[in-house]
Amino acid sequence: MAIIAQQPKDITYSPPEIGTLVLKTIAERKAQPGAGIRLGVPSVDKQLLPLRPGDLCTITGRPSNYKSGLMSFWARKVAHDLTQAEGSEHRVVVYITWEMAIEEIGLYDLSATSGLSAADLSQGRCTDVDFDSLQKAAMRRAMSPLWLIGHSIERRKKRTRLTLSNVAKALAWLDDEMGLQPAIVFLDYLQQMAPERMMDNGETSRRLDVFENVARCKDMAIALGCPVVLGVQAGRQVDDRDWKLPGMQDQMESSNIEHTADKMLSVWYPKMTEKKGDLLPRDNSLVISDNLLILGIVKQRMGPAGGWVPLYVDPMRNEISELQR
């Protein structure tokens, strides 16, 4: 999302202006010390600083290691918190997906709300009683301030290229036409974003386009005045390690992330790479199961990093919580 300055003074700040802006920001945070967006899992929130306006937070993981699952859970959690907060009538959560159809994401939402298995629902396995529960879940979903941007099977004939430029137009429409201000934006995920940069021969420069998109995601966070969470795919080199939690330099196709991101998280779903029932490397008190998820805090500006937290995940209902050892 590009910002074009009409005058040089619009992007130039004098020493007195800088001091004034910083003091205003600190005063606001002093008045609301708990402000910011948290994951809502105490063991993580104890280490991870709240996401603030302008923050770019990345979540890196290998395919099928619950990167999108974590983002979906977080989006629903923030949307729920907005319904409980005063003065949030015009604030929304926006989830942009390049990977799944809108119907698929909505299915997980209704699964989480109704308590029914997403795997069963995706195959149409539900009783009449279950379907009544789904209708009630759909009514509750209609009241949630969680908006989606992406492609629908139903509207496939109106499908357009989902570039960041088109995403910016959709976000502007939400603000200008609907009067809605994003509290947080989720982008799922970087390597699936449609390219916009064209070389002289008419082909796209993949690495340059991904590099540029990282910068544009950070710019989006500043322009919207809210945090942006960006999903990132990790490279195959992670699979060759005993400890498969992605690190600082494991993002596929972009070295720009470690410089641009304010916070970097990573995920590892051990059951996808290890034998269930085995002990987890580095912690022999943890047994690999369908419900063990590892979350790493790779980087955060002005905060501690380098640690990891074991979490309990229910993938069929997209729920994440504390792991009871």
Q: What is the pLDDT of residues 131-140, one digit of tens each?
A: 999 999 999 9
Q: Is residue 3 part of a domain?
A: no
Q: Is residue 69 part of a domain?
A: yes
Give which of 69, 36, 62, 33 is closest to 50, Cα–Cα: 36
- Looking up residue 152, the CATH number of its domain turns out to be 3.40.50.300
Give which of 184, 248, 195 is closest to 221, Cα–Cα: 184
Q: Is residue 121 part of a domain?
A: yes
Q: The tokens 């990345």 sit on which residue?
A: 58
Q: Is residue 18 part of a domain?
A: no
Q: What is the pLDDT of residue 4?
A: 53
Q: Is residue 7 part of a domain?
A: no
Q: What is the pLDDT of residue 201?
A: 52
How far is it, in rounded angstroms, from Cα 14 to Cα 228? 28
Q: What is the pLDDT of residue 3?
A: 47
Q: What is the pLDDT of residue 5?
A: 52
Q: Is residue 201 part of a domain?
A: yes
For the chain, the domain total comes to: 1
In degrees and rounded to multiples of 5, residue 47 shows phi and psi of -105, -30
What lies within 8 Å, CB to CB, of 51 at 6+ separation is 36, 37, 38, 57, 184, 227, 229, 263
Q: What is the pLDDT of residue 1?
A: 46
Task: Give every residue of the chain whose pLDDT is below 70, as ranges.
Answer: 1-6, 33-34, 157-159, 197-204
How far is it, in rounded angstroms, from Cα 112 to Cα 164? 29
Helical ranges in the chain per DSSP H: 15-31, 42-45, 67-84, 102-114, 118-122, 128-142, 164-176, 206-224, 257-260
CA distances 204 to 174, 188, 251, Å, are: 30, 21, 20
Per the structure, the complete domain to which residue 171 belongs is given by 35-322
Q: Is residue 26 part of a domain?
A: no
Q: Is residue 9 part of a domain?
A: no
